[in-house]
Structure 1
């Protein structure tokens, strides 16, 4: 991953310079008051969702007289480089997607993102957002951005493969391993994994399902990647790779196609992945299903469930701050969220919105009622410099599992450097 970043950054800088010369809105040229915007551009790292963003743009034009055009990226490093470059140039997005956790704290500290405290207070009062969700958007006692989406992580599975081999969703971790063994005996790869971006998925799942307290301490610098409990998780992960349960991590096939074609019988993703299934005309209940991944440690009082919420943000110096705020207020409303959740077949950050998919709806309901122990997704929970080292390390590990001890040691070097200048414990 590191070798590609200089090239990606160079490409982004070229795009930014080209945009500056092209008269993108938000430039400093001209004089006199600017006319209020009637269309906003939403820059995002979810290029596959363009269809759904387009539908939301049409709905917002109808309901609040303000349309939205998505500008989607599919390469995460390129996208993040572009957004950070916009802080220093005249090419500024009206709206943009980001992540909570350390990356949000980072841009708030740079005073680049607009505060949304008043918006949150009003939405919570109206029942459009929850106080529980607000903590993920709070930095220094103030709120920033609004939820683009909320998602719970579990396992999507190819129901036809399960039916073919007489398999049922597992109740325990041992059940899951028995399923993997059965599939292996029939020359079917049980699980999908990858060496890029989502290389952290199995690390977070195994650690959260083994010792969620250790997971939390690791993310706040109170534990080390070289601690015995973390090493044991890597050894379990290695044993699963060695057993042949996983697909080739270098395979570039889209995960949606992996599940549809049966290259792997199961994929661990957030409920937002349901969109990939509906895009491929796959039907819940007949073509695919979803189950909560059992804990590795059966003695834990609650099943650990990975949770994430992705922000929709506005810059502090947005081209038209009033228009951007108006759009964010509309976005969290029931009218907007009903369309957004239904179109993608996912849960909504708005508690008032009903979910059509029964399995997804049940997970959302159970998670909201406290049945599961919600664990903040590793991507958001881990400080950015440590995350960068971890993504590289896990990406190398899935290709060469024997090197897990060096991988952990290298990540800990980045963690030591970060926590030496930051307060531990959050």
Structure 2
């Protein structure tokens, strides 16, 4: 079971943030999505609830403190994968399978989507977000240089070389906010060897083995060719929107921010799913599911349950899509934008399998240390830093699995 105890300072910080919530709130939703505050305000008004947002590490402290005190918020966000299993082990999260049965029977969600929010066959969350990780690209740059959306790995590399020869940075990638280091690592790995990618997350594949070496070899080759942007930027989305690179690997949730920064879908903003480097593999796409959980006590509260069901409803999905341009996976809702509609169509046509994002798939105790190593490589991409990162990641990995 996850140890939810915190130090005094962390608890004080978390509880002081929590006290900013109105004491009169009937239903409280806590979340780590304060960067979507405007959209959350719209949802709160439509669903008649209060919400408080936190930055990620403060939010972890708040939730862990609340769980330790047996006083979780009514409704709250978390992560899928190992992180979800950890918080479920506290015994304070409600089984919401009954709600999923209703929504699937109504044709609003698929069984495959439900699996992302389940632990050992029991469903504990509904989606606040269902985002596929895709490559946004500058359509004007591609058109100017006679390029089309790459459908093979060779075409992707040819596009990168053509753009670079024209003085355009092919790939935009940074270490902004400290968590982005895993993005290109995991994407390259699933394109080369998806089975090895899954093996990273159960300890069967080491971080210093040949499968990971192949990822760093490809990554380093592209860095040495000058294909990547400066990783030190703190304006990643804004720079891509300004035309400082041609391709940007990110979750679909970035669409709204790109539009806010002046891009227009179908004019200068297009999207494609990265093709496989290994053509013998079935096509796949990384999927990020952001769950909303409800405490066992709140599940028995009709007002809290009404709010929770609003998030799972088609009406709620449409409000969220309009307010924040985000997709929840609700099949009856209107697609938030043409990017999401196109990716949904491409997945259906291509038969892509859903691959859990690295952040959710890796044991939560390893997230920070391994991301730090990947980020260090991005800041100084050399064979030596690659070897150092691999060795350090495997040391963390081995220590973790030795205790399991």
1:144–1:313 Cα contact (<8 Å) kept: yes
CA distance in 2: counterparts of 1:394 and 1:158, whole angstroms: 26
Q: Tell me by how many angstroms 1:338 deviates.
A: 2.1
Q: Who is 1:179 aligned against?
A: 159
Q: Who is 1:63 aligned against?
A: none
For residues 45-66 of structure 1, the C-alpha deviation after alignment (integer angstroms, 9 at most, x for no partner) is: 2222222222222222xxxxxx
Segment of structure 1 superposing worse, 142-151 or 188-197:
188-197
CA distance in 2: counterparts of 1:11 and 1:265, whole angstroms: 44
**Distance change in 2, residues 1:72/1:161 (3 Å):** farther
Q: Who is 1:42 aligned against?
A: 29
1:101–1:382 Cα contact (<8 Å) kept: yes
Q: Who is 2:168 aligned against?
A: 188
CA distance in 2: counterparts of 1:23 and 1:290, whole angstroms: 39
State TM-score, norm by structure 2: 0.89
Q: How do 1:93-242 and structure 2 match up within 5 A? A: 93-195=73-175, 196-242=178-224
Q: Tell me by how many angstroms 1:383 deviates.
A: 0.9
- Structure 2: 5+ residue stretches without partners: 1-6
Partner of residue 270 from structure 1, selected from 215, 240, 251: 251
Partner of residue 56 from structure 1, selected from 32, 36, 43: 43
Q: How do 1:290-305 and structure 2 match up within 5 A? A: 290-300=271-281, 302-305=282-285
CA distance in 2: counterparts of 1:38 and 1:399, whole angstroms: 45
CA distance in 1: counterparts of 2:370 and 2:79, whole angstroms: 17
1:15 matched to 2:2: no
For residues 88-121 of structure 1, the C-alpha deviation after alignment (integer angstroms, 9 at most, x for no partner) is: 3588533222110011101111223232122222
For residues 180-206 of structure 1, the C-alpha deviation after alignment (integer angstroms, 9 at most, x for no partner) is: 222222332211212220110111110
Structural RMSD (CA): 2.6
1:20–1:90 Cα contact (<8 Å) kept: no
- Matched positions, count: 395
2:321–2:335 Cα contact (<8 Å) kept: yes
Q: Who is 1:420 aligned against?
A: 402
Partner SS for 1:353 = coil
Partner of residue 76 from structure 1, selected from 26, 41, 56: 56
Q: Who is 1:34 aligned against?
A: none
2:15–2:62 Cα contact (<8 Å) kept: no
Q: How do 1:18-37 and structure 2 match up within 5 A? A: 18=16, 25=23
Partner of residue 317 from structure 2, selected from 337, 357, 379: 337
1:278–1:344 Cα contact (<8 Å) kept: no
Q: Who is 1:261 aligned against?
A: 242
**Distance change in 2, residues 1:374/1:17 (3 Å):** closer
Partner SS for 2:274 = coil
1:285 matched to 2:266: yes
Q: Tell me by how many angstroms 1:353 deviates.
A: 2.0
Q: Tell me by how many angstroms 1:378 deviates.
A: 0.6
Partner SS for 2:181 = helix
State TM-score, norm by structure 1: 0.84
